[in-house]
Each structure stands twice: as C-alpha cells, then as structure tokens.
Amino acid sequence: MIEATVRPRGPYRLHLMTYGRELDQPLPGGGRGQAWQRPDGLVQLRAPNDDGLELLRFCLALDADTTEFTRRFRKDPLLGLSIRRLHGLRPLRRPTVAAALLRAICGQLIEARRAFAIERAILRAVGDPAPRREAIAALSPAQLRKLGLATHRASTLVRVCRSLDLEGLRSFAGVGN
C-alpha cells in the first residue's frame, strides 16, 4: 500500500460525500483504496499502487474546483440554499465507466433503495465491485432480468458493454486509463 496527502482544489468536505465515514473504494482488479480528510483539510489517500491513487483522486473529484460555481449561484433562488448548506460537496465518481453505466441504468425511474439493491445483485453476479465492461458483457440480458433489471434496460446494458470500449471514453473527460 502507498499513501499520498492531497490538498483539494477549492472547498471540499469529504464527510458530506461519505456520510461521516472513511471512504473505502473498490478498485478495478480487486484492490481497495481508502481516503479520509484530516482536520487541516488535507485528504489522505491509500491505495495498492500509483494507478490506484490516481483513480481515487478522480473518484473523489479532488482536482475539480467548484469555487466559481459556488460564487456564481450561491444566491440563486432555486440552488442557493443547497449550495450554502452543502458547500464543499462533490459527487463521488464510480471507479470505471462500466460501473457508472451500471449505476445510471439501474437508477432510472425507480426508487433509490431498489436501484441500489439491483446494482449490488449485479455486482455480486459479476464478482467484482468495480467491474470493467467485459465482466458485465459476460452476463446475458436474461440473467440481468433475473437480478431485477427491466428487460429493455438489461438488453441496453449488455449491448453497450459488448459494443463500446467504455474505459476509452475516459480520454474524452481528460482522465487517463
């Protein structure tokens, strides 16, 4: 395991993203990364290797400065209250594009508790909490349907995972593979 201490760009409150707990993030290939924020505001990262540290930085959005957005919209009638109360919150990113796609497809138009249950069932079925597209593509739409995913969503998920290089999409976001 290697560690790094990082100063987030802009306001940052990890406890808002992890509900007050230390982050324990599954990484592709079976590794795990941890992160916690020190009282001085610095974020401590721990991962099995340098690639894992970079992936943790990405998942935690440590380099995404939200200062300008906050300044511009803190008095907005619709967003202002949330921006002021949740100052420093950034959404946690998924460790792989395939995991983000799975979360998006599972979460469409149903209650969050049910969506997370379906996502967890699929992750158990593939045997990896941070799956790459090949792991999801190995499942059939019928298997996904048995795990609770609607038929058309199951077909879409498998078709996308089998036909696109999902991790290659990271290059469009300026994030290395």
CATH number listed for the domain at residues 97-171: 1.10.340.30
Cβ neighbors of 127 (< 8 A, separation 6 or more) are 135
What does the domain layout of the chain look like in residue ranges?
2-85, 97-171
Count of alpha carbons within 13 angstroms of residue 111, beta-carbon side: 2
Shortest CA distance to 18 belongs to which of 52, 43, 48? 43
Per-10-residue mean pLDDT of the chain, 177 residues long, equals 94 91 90 95 95 94 92 94 92 91 85 92 94 94 95 94 88 56
Q: In sequence order, what DSSP letters do the residues of 94-129 get, joined into one string?
A: PSSHHHHHHHHHHTTTS-HHHHHHHHHHHHHHHT-S
For the beta carbon of residue 101, count every other beta carbon within 10 angstroms: 21
| Residue 94: C-alpha distances to residues 39, 54, 108, 159 (Å) | 26, 13, 17, 20
Mention every residue, 6+ apart, whose C-beta is less than 8 A from residue 47: 1, 2, 27, 31, 32, 33, 34, 53, 55, 56
Please tell me the predicted confidence (pLDDT) of residue 177.
Answer: 42
The DSSP secondary structure of 151-168, one letter per residue, reads HHHHHHHHHHHHHS-GGG
